Chains A and B, each alone.
Chain A
């Protein structure tokens, strides 16, 4: 059995999780602890991928990152390759629907942290960044990990958005879910079964691993 969809999936999902994790934690911090104009807009915007069909997300990403867009042209000029139909594009595609899961969980975790602890840290001379890093993150880490884990699982399972943005290119953008779809189209049910099991296996292993990582980080 060709293992390339497994490697492609792991690569794409790792980067997607890093993207949605970093962005999601930042957004969650803003939503939980800051008051600024446009806050509810930001909240709605980051929750949007949860309610939009994956094809709509895929379409928007194609328009936003495609070769016709300013962003797409910048990427192509800078990196000598377009973002769409590459594994990096697939990572962006998978990160978008996983973002709301990270934001929701991390935001709830931040909001549960006692504000007095932050104020105490502030009185001891801790700046915003120090409060975030040494008070907020450690206290909220369980919720954040849960969100990132969910985000990882969502990115791993992404099909529609990835297919639209990155296509079905074996060895480059063909992730496990897309390889499974391709196997079914080819009538190769044995391969489809193998891929479904591989996908399930990766999901279980990852969830177990991140779960263990979580308890060890306490």
Chain B
């Protein structure tokens, strides 16, 4: 018995070796809003090629990620899907105030699967249709894209009609997943996800007019506890610079200082 415990302890000691000295140790650890999943996988590869620094992402809803930063999660950077979370952390000294910057403005779309018979081009007025059983969105409580989706439903006057159909993903990519797996009929998700190759080939989308929701102003900042602040600032400059912007634009983001994409 004692020996068995000893073996387990030794196993733990041995295993903690390779894992803690893995690639993450030298690279950047970036907390990124779920709408960035596909765009940032590409961004991470591009940055590694140029800077030689590997970037690992933890994707989640902005609210959850901000909570984790607040509680000391070992991130170097936070890319939130809204400004408020980053600014609030900066005010409390948890994110370096001089690093905070806008990096994108997001858009939302209605999304259905390729094989769906629903005419997504009809837009939001499709949602009250009896053929639509479930509408998936990110949880508006802590996911900015969910909040934008809720605003669009309210401002187009259909919220009360569709309220009973709403199902919530914990972030915008899990909302999309609810539709992709066929469990919800329509999703209100990020354009950046709908344009990603694995998703765009699997479905159709309709762009929700941006007058129907507050601008999804996405901001980022360097985490104050980060041991790799110089590299973190470099990645932030990369995303907002000549290398990163074309990638962001391709995923449908409107970029700071630029007009909407045609």
Contact = CB atoms under 8 A, between A and B. Distances in A.
Interface of A: 4, 7-8, 10-11, 14-15, 17-18, 21-22, 62, 66-67, 76, 81-82, 84-87, 133, 137-138, 140-141, 144-145, 148, 152, 167-172, 174, 182, 184-187, 210, 213-214, 217
A152 B8 CA distance: 10
B164 interface: no
Contacts of B117: none
B4 A86 contact: no
Contacts of B229: none
A169 B68 CA distance: 10
Contacts of A217: 1, 3-4
B73 A10 contact: no
A24 to B, nearest CB: 11
Given A15-B12, A186-B59, 17 more contacts: A7-B15, A8-B19, A10-B15, A14-B8, A21-B8, A81-B72, A84-B71, A84-B73, A87-B20, A137-B1, A145-B4, A148-B4, A167-B73, A168-B59, A170-B58, A171-B19, A171-B56
B261 interface: no
B50 interface: no
B123 to A, nearest CB: 25
Contact of A170 (B24, B37, B64): B24
Contact of B74 (A4, A21, A86, A213): A86
Given A8-B19, A170-B24, A170-B56, A18 B5 contact: yes
B171 to A, nearest CB: 8
Contacts of A84: 71-73
9 contacts: A4-B22, A66-B71, A137-B1, A138-B1, A169-B73, A171-B22, A171-B29, A171-B56, A185-B59
Nearest to A214: B4
Contact of B72 (A67, A140, A170): A67
A144 B71 CA distance: 36
A186 B68 contact: no
A187 B180 contact: yes
B7 A213 contact: yes
B51 interface: no
Nearest to A82: B72
A186 B37 contact: yes
A77 B174 CA distance: 37
B8 A18 contact: yes
B246 interface: no
A109 B43 CA distance: 56
A184 B71 contact: no
Of the candidates A18, A140, A141, A148, the one having the most CB atoms from chain B within 10 angstroms of its own CB is A18
Nearest to B65: A167
Interface residues of B, number: 43
Contacts of B29: 169, 171-172
B213 to A, nearest CB: 23
B72 A85 contact: yes
Interface in B64-113: 64, 68, 70-75
B240 interface: no
A51 B87 CA distance: 40
Contacts of A185: 34, 59, 171, 173-174, 177
A137 B58 contact: no
A176 to B, nearest CB: 13
B38 to A, nearest CB: 8
B231 to A, nearest CB: 16
B177 A187 contact: yes
Nearest to B196: A187
B140 interface: no
A22 B5 contact: yes
B1 A145 contact: yes
Nearest to B27: A171
Nearest to B60: A168
B158 interface: no
Contact of B15 (A14, A67, A86, A133): A14
Given A17-B8, A185-B173, A7 B18 contact: yes
B229 to A, nearest CB: 17
A11 B22 contact: no
